[in-house]
Structure 1
Amino acid sequence: KRRNVYKVAITYAVVAWLLIQAASILLPTFEAPTWVMKALVVFLALGFIISVMISWAFEATPEGLKRTENVPPDAVLPTWSPRKFATFIVAVAVIAAGLLAFNLFRTKSVALSTTATPITNKSVAVLAFANLSDDKGSEYFSDGISEELLTVLQKIPGLHVAARTSAFSFKGKNATAQEIGQKLGVAHLVEGSVRKAGDVVRIAARLTQANTGEEQWSENYTRNLKDVFAVQTEIAQTIVEQLRGRLTGGAANPTTKAEIQAEVRAAGKGGTKSVEAHEAYLQGRFFINRHSEKETDQARVAYQREVELDPKFALAWAGLAQAHIWYCNFATEGGQKGFNDHLTAAREAVERALILEPDLPEALSARSLIETNFDYNWKGAAETLRKALALAPQDPALLMQAGNLAAARGEKTQSLEFDRRAVALDPVNALAREYLASALSVTGKQEEARAEYARAIELNPSAPNSHAGAGLTYLLEGKFEEAAVAAQKDAADWARLLIMSCARWSQKRVPESDAALAELIANTSETGAYQIAEVYGYRNDKDHAFEWLERARRQRDAGLPGLRADTLLPNLHDDPRWNAFLRTMGLADDQLK
């Protein structure tokens, strides 16, 4: 008791609590890494043990600290009165509690602002149907059935449908209907299962009220595999009828039913009546959604088989085009020749699809990508996108592409709006988050951009350019070491090396910057000329920058649509060659009017 061990322990605990509350507010303000807070807590915990040990082994005397055995029992020692001690402890505790309350209130306010979007009653999410087949390799079939149903419903005017990426993110999870509805922002859920055995398929489907979990409609279908198309159409029509009936307060009349049937038929155009081709198409869609080089090749093979089985299968031609475009955008194998071969094949597939179905949104989407990323036909791409969005206004991929085109034209505000709409429709789509992050960074909102990159990384840690994108936001704020650390984690070499070279250059670590640039040139000169130009532009090496920009144009580099908004190239803007190059690209102000 004389050693004041209890008082030391209580005082230390209360002061440490105050320091932790203050740090939880101040550290995020200065964007300190998360390890700093962890280190502080560990340091304070160790300090508690040490302070208690010292208070036990030593005494505080007027002459300073002395070991307990060297202090006479009758010695007069300085001490606080109980009243002063209690006053001090209460004051510190009140301050700490106030900081805790402030922190909790601030967090609650932010959370409320992000969930204020109202849910319309005319909204639905199609969840991935469960695969109940004995062959677990038939997962592509159950996924495909639900995805095709989703695609049809997405094209029904006035109906809000959650995007595939978001809806399918609940696959294999035990989330409640209420949780799913709240996260996806929908009032209704479509769930089901598929059991495929030989030529017989059994499909169970049900419509559920999300906020209550109440089943509104359900049906089981046992059909021959060749009748699966009719089942999908019937399910889609029934769901639209159910939703309209609940909004109007009664059953659909014959006229309304005829209108719904016409809408569903129009939404389902471009398909096939060949069971074998349809099954291959479902495989292609299953693989293309994986977004990897290996599985994109599997998708390409499946799509190629579809068009051979049914040359009039327009959706299959559109899928084949998208697989080839993926290679042009992301793959590095094959160099310039491989790129040219894929681009030629993509053009041919798009034209075949549009000859069969001139108003097919999937084919128009592929055409707009080619016109933007490789032809630099800005006006043509805008016209194609306008037509596609009129047909499928809720397609997040089309909205992302519209944002990409707006950025190419220097329309930063419009680009940001398109990307926000895409994320609102598909909040767990990592690529949509990346597009939004990039748009925020371009408009100078680096902290918001980092938050979006963090969400993209959480959704897909191996997403190319997410870590490097976060690194770019640090680079633009002059935080060069943070930029290098973030970029180092990126899965794409071209993205990692770009930011590493720029960051090390700004840190005057020239040999490291040169080594990263040399590796970038050695590995990606035929597929990453634009990124090489960015490094030289950032270094203010204008001659090399324009040399590589011209090479990127000749190679039809997909990075060039970002030219006008590129935050790494301001050093080039006062050079006469800049406006001349913009004019060559068709991006001069008067050319975009």
Structure 2
Amino acid sequence: MIGQTISHYKILEKLGEGGMGVVYLAEDTKLERKVAIKFLPRHISVNSEERERFKIEAKAAASLNHPNISTIHSIEEVNEDVFIVMEYIDGEELKNKIKSDPIPIGEVINIAIQIAEGLEAAHKKGIVHRDIKSQNIMITKDSKVKIMDFGLAKIGRGTQVTQIGSTVGTIAYMSPEQTKGDEVDNRTDIWSFGVVLYEILTGKQPFKGDYDQAVIYSILNEEPELEGNVSERLMYIIAKALSKNKEDRYQSVGELLEDLKQKNAKFETDQEQVISKSLLSKNWKLITAGFVVTMLIVFGLFFFNSSSDSVKIKKSIAVLPFTNLSTDSDQEYFADGMAEEIINSLAQIPNLKVSSRTSSFRFKGKEIAIQTIGNELGVGTVLEGSVRKSGNRLRITAQLINVSDGFNLWSNSYERELTDVFEIQDDLSESIVKALQLTLSGNQINSFNTRNLANVEAYNLYLKGRYYWNKRSEEGVNKSIEYFQQTIDIDSTYAQAYAGLGDSYLMLGVYGRRKPEESISIAKSFIEKALKINNKLAEAYATLGDINIHYDWDLDAAEKNLKKAIELNPQYANGYHWYSEVLVLRGEFERAYQQSQHALELDPYSLIINAQLGQHYQRGGEFQKAIDQLQKTLEFDSTFAYAYYDLGIAYIALNQFNDALNYFRKAYSLAPEDTRILSGLAYSEGLTGSKENAERLGKVLLKRAVSKYVSSYDLAVISLGLGQKDKALEYLEKAYEERGPWMLFLKLNPLFNSLSDDFRFQELFRRIVN
């Protein structure tokens, strides 16, 4: 699309997209001016009913003529394309302005009044916006407000194209009636205005949740909280705008404007007052003078008696995934990769706590206040940024935010050639070191700046490989192998790419996607190659330690390599995570729990590490702790199949077979392709008397074995569920020959309890450990 000319509009660049279309910057070649063009998606434009809706709503928006509303120039149709030509606003989204410097209170009120005046003009025309949010409000360079995108507008009278029951809009800004799909009127915009005003004042949204239904629950049932140096009258305006019952809200924007303008006289006398975006919120109580004095005393005591703990928490950081602002959404891998590389660089710095990738990336795409993120991750600072990659040009912005007060400790933007990416990363990391007042020795500085300066093409391919590896799916891992191999084809000395290949083949082997003697042995060769090139790669030593456990069955070698990984990078959670397995296999359960818990301190939201602690408790005979920990894991992600599988194992150990069956069934419903989970379900079906189901699942696995690898270990589990001990032992002998990745754990797995007294099983295990 970019570079094309449609009618007399030359498309220059993509500006954004939403539910009702894609917006481009274009040049009107007839009038020689820049315009914004919004295209109806092709799959909708060919639908006559949707096309009609678009045209009606566009005509409604075009009827609006107000300085605080973006002007609609025309509606055009070219072949099957339908588009609106709009005024191009050269300015900043209110959303981004809120994220930058704190806004003086006088400016806050000025912005609010202009938004309200624009809405009032639309409402007088019978038009309801229905998607008022900070992203739909632009602030020009001369501080004028422009409300954008009446593409979701509803005609108050006449033709009603959008039916009752739809929930058009952005959930966090929706009114209660909107979330229910009820009929809406101008009061839904008043609610959304209240959300935006709250967001300007606090830097966060009043109604939050980890998923859509949680946000809707908050909108319908919870009261937002506000306190601090926000005036009583502003609290009143927000509270009235956010009344759950629309009859209790302002009944018109005009009423709201009267209150805003009445209060504005007071605000204009105090233009220097600033609203802190990090204000903690507890209630809607009006603040009294006595309360303010009390808080000043408390804060005075805090700042004059700050302990070493307060200093310590500051020297900690979470690097959030960078936002991809490139016109090509496929460039997301580059934005993610930038953040991950910065995490890896910072992790080398002594005395700096760095939140792991897993935990930091949990907040990707979520609009959550920085203070909430910082508190959840236990860090004092948060780095966020954006990446725009266009051809060989790169624009990166970044800001380091102090969690305690919401203000920037440092910020910068970079406009460079793509070849400067390594220099930018080093500069970012070094700036963070300075902002946090960290001191590095000469050797630490050299180590900190050591980077595999591959050419940019190889680096790009490596980032793509890591991006797909982090998807943790079979398809993603296979794609990552392709990209890591292409990286090495360009640069045969790229140690991290060899390590990436090792990680990928290890994952395929451990999770039963390929034969262990093929995949894990290949993984080991790649890891050893990586370490030959760069013997400082902590992650490679950790992976080698995991291979020692699951393939070599060599606990001494595993301990040596995992301790080396921890020495090189004390903040690499997987080092402790895998070392805890060594300790479990040696029967040192208390030490194993400690190692797992330390891994969780570094990576609190890792599903694998959380579930593994539950496994360890089960293997150590602490069954209730195991169940509690696995249930906690599911609170993070209720779709994590392995937590249900491990719960099934725990209940097998407790001889509560029906409970176990329910958890295995749930795991299988979430991951039907996983052979370990399928075998666990078949075992449980057989144990509870459903032998037909067990046999059916066994046939599914045998049929699967015709075209792809199926572990003999899993077939042994199914045989035990059917009471076929001799057959199970035959399969275990094959698993021994295959170097099955779970063979060292046989005696800790209650699925094999029925074989514990069999001398053949004991002899097999003796060979494994020797």
TM-score calculated relative to the size of structure 2 = 0.56
Q: Counterparts of 1:136-535 in structure 2 under 5 Å?
A: 136-245=329-438, 256=440, 258=442, 261-265=445-449, 268-269=450-451, 271-332=452-513, 336=515, 339-490=516-667, 491-492=671-672, 493-523=674-704, 526-535=709-718
Shift of 1:297: 1.2
**How many Å apart are 1:220 and its aligned residue?**
1.6
SS at match of 2:750: coil
Change (3 A) 1:382 1:274: same
Q: Could you tell which deviates more after superposition, 561-570 or 212-221?
A: 561-570
Q: Quickly say closer, same or farther: Cα 1:533–1:516, change in 2 above 3 A.
A: same
Structure 1 residues 408 and 498, CA gap change in structure 2 (3 angstroms): same
Q: Which residue does the alignment assign to 2:752? A: 569
Distance 1:235 1:454 in 2: 39
Distance in 1 between the 2:665 and 2:542 partners?
Answer: 33
**Is the contact between residue 399 and residue 419 of structure 1 (CA under 8 Å) also seen in structure 2?**
yes
Q: Distance in 2 between matches of 1:414 and 1:572?
A: 28
The answer as to whether partners of 2:580 and 2:593 remain within 8 angstroms in 1 is: yes
CA distance in 1, matches of 2:478, 2:639: 19
Q: Distance in 1 between matches of 2:684 and 2:495?
A: 47
Distance in 1 separating the partners of 2:699 and 2:615: 26
- Cα contact 2:325–2:388 (8 A) shared by 1: yes
Call closer, same or farther: CA 1:511–1:501 in 2, change over 3 Å.
same
Alpha carbons 1:410, 1:565 under 8 Å: kept: no
AA aligned to 1:303 is F
TM-superposed CA distance for 1:450, in Å, is 2.9
Measure the CA separation in 1 of the matches of 2:624 and 2:412.
Answer: 49
Residue 309 of structure 2 corresponds to residue 126 of structure 1: no
Aligned 8 A contact 1:371 1:380 in 2 = yes
Q: Give how far 1:507 is off.
A: 2.7
Distance (Å, rounded) in 1 between the aligned partners of 2:444 and 2:432: 10
Q: State the Cα deviation string for residues 346-373 of structure 1 (Å, max 9, x = none).
A: 2332222111112211221222222221
CA 1:316 to 1:207, structure 2 compared with 1: closer, same or farther past 3 Å?
Answer: same
Structure 1 distance, partners of 2:573, 2:723, is: 37
Deviations 1:65-87 (A, max 9, x none): xxxxxxxxxxxxxxxxxxxxxxx
User: Which residue is 2:736 aligned to?
Assistant: 553
Once the 2 structures are TM-superposed, how far is the Cα of residue 513 of structure 1 from its aligned partner?
Answer: 3.5
Deviations 1:190-236 (A, max 9, x none): 11111112212122122111122121111222221111101111211
Q: Counterparts of 1:312 and 1:528 in 2: how far apart (Å)?
A: 35
Q: Does the 8 Å CA contact 2:691/2:722 hold for their aligned counterparts?
A: no
Q: Which segment is superposed worse, 136-145 or 534-543?
A: 534-543
Partner SS for 1:312: coil
User: SS at the partner of 1:444?
Assistant: coil
Structure 2: which amino acid aligns with 1:288? W
Residue range with higher mean Cα deviation, 312-321 or 506-515: 506-515
Name the SS of the counterpart of 2:363 in structure 1.
coil
What SS does the corresponding residue of 1:374 show, helix, strand or coil? helix
Task: Indicate if the aligned counterparts of 1:365 and 1:388 stay in contact, CA closer than 8 A.
Answer: yes
Maintained 8 Å contact 2:593/2:616: yes
> Residue 380 and residue 225 in structure 1: after superposition, are their counterparts in 2 closer, same or farther (change >3 A)?
same
Deviation at 1:344, TM superposition (A): 4.2
- Distance (whole Å) between structure 1 residues aligned to residue 441 and residue 407 of structure 2: 25
Q: Which runs of 5+ in 1 are unaligned?
A: 1-116, 246-251, 588-593
Whole-angstrom CA distance in 2 between matches of 1:502 and 1:345: 32
Looking at structure 2, the residues matched to 259 and 377 of structure 1 have their Cα atoms a distance apart, in angstroms, of 34
1:154, CA displacement in angstroms? 1.2
Alignment partners' CA distance in 2, 1:357 and 1:480: 50
Q: Alpha-carbon deviation of 1:179? A: 0.3
SS at match of 2:314: coil
Alignment RMSD (CA, Å): 2.5
Q: Confirm or deny: 8 A CA contact 2:684 2:721 kept in the other structure.
A: no
Structure 1 residues 242 and 210, CA gap change in structure 2 (3 angstroms): same
Residue identity opposite 2:675 in structure 1: W
Question: Match for residue 584 of structure 1?
Answer: 767
CA displacement, residues 42-100 of structure 1 (integer Å, 9 cap, x when unaligned): xxxxxxxxxxxxxxxxxxxxxxxxxxxxxxxxxxxxxxxxxxxxxxxxxxxxxxxxxxx
Letter in 2 for 1:564: K
Secondary structure of 2:629's aligned partner = helix
Alpha-carbon contact 1:131-1:194 (below 8 Å) kept: yes
Greater share of strand: 2
SS in 2 for 1:568: helix
Matched residues in 1 for 2:504 and 2:461: separation? 14
**1:205 aligns to what SS in structure 2?**
strand
Q: Please report how far the alpha carbon of residue 542 of structure 1 lies from its aligned counterpart in structure 2 after TM superposition.
A: 4.3
Residues 461 and 293 (structure 1), Cα distance of their counterparts in 2 relative to 1, 3 Å cut: farther
Q: 1:323/1:499 Cα in 2 relative to 1: closer, same or farther (>3 Å)?
A: closer
CA distance in 2, matches of 1:527, 1:420: 33
Tell me by how many angstroms 1:284 deviates: 0.9
Residues 102-139 of structure 1: CA distance to partner in whole angstroms, max 9, x if unpaired? xxxxxxxxxxxxxxx99733211111111112222111
Contact residue 373 and residue 561 of structure 1 kept, 8 A: yes
Closer, same or farther in 2 for the Cα pair 1:158/1:301, shift >3 Å?
same
Give the helix-richer structure, 1 or 2.
1
Q: Is the 8 A contact 2:383 2:401 kept in 1?
A: yes
Q: Classify 1:187/1:233 alpha carbon distance in 2 versus 1 (closer, same or farther; 3 Å).
A: same
Secondary structure of the corresponding residue to residue 169 of structure 1: helix
Q: Rate the CA distance shift 1:500–1:544 in 2: closer, same or farther, 3 A.
A: same
SS of aligned partner of 2:587: coil
Q: Secondary structure at the match of 1:580?
A: helix
Cα separation, 2, equivalents of 1:511 and 1:171? 45
2:416 is matched by which residue type in structure 1? R
1:455 Cα deviation (Å)?
A: 4.0
Q: Which has the higher contact order (CA 8 A, sep 6+)?
A: 1
TM-score norm. by structure 1 comes to 0.71
Task: Give, in angstroms, the shift of residue 393 of structure 1.
Answer: 1.7
Aligned match of 1:18: none
Q: 1:183 to 1:356 in 2, by over 3 A?
A: same
Per-residue displacement from partner, 1:269-308 (whole Å, max 9, x unpaired)?
4x23301001111111111111001111111111011111
Unaligned runs of 5+ in 2: 1-308
Task: Give the conservation status (yes or no) of the 8 Å contact 1:241–1:257.
Answer: no
Distance 1:508 1:538 in 2: 10
Q: Could you tell me which amino acid in structure 1 is paired with residue 760 of structure 2?
A: R
Evaluate the alpha carbon distance shift between residue 173 and residue 497 of structure 1 in structure 2; reply closer, same or farther with a 3 A threshold: closer
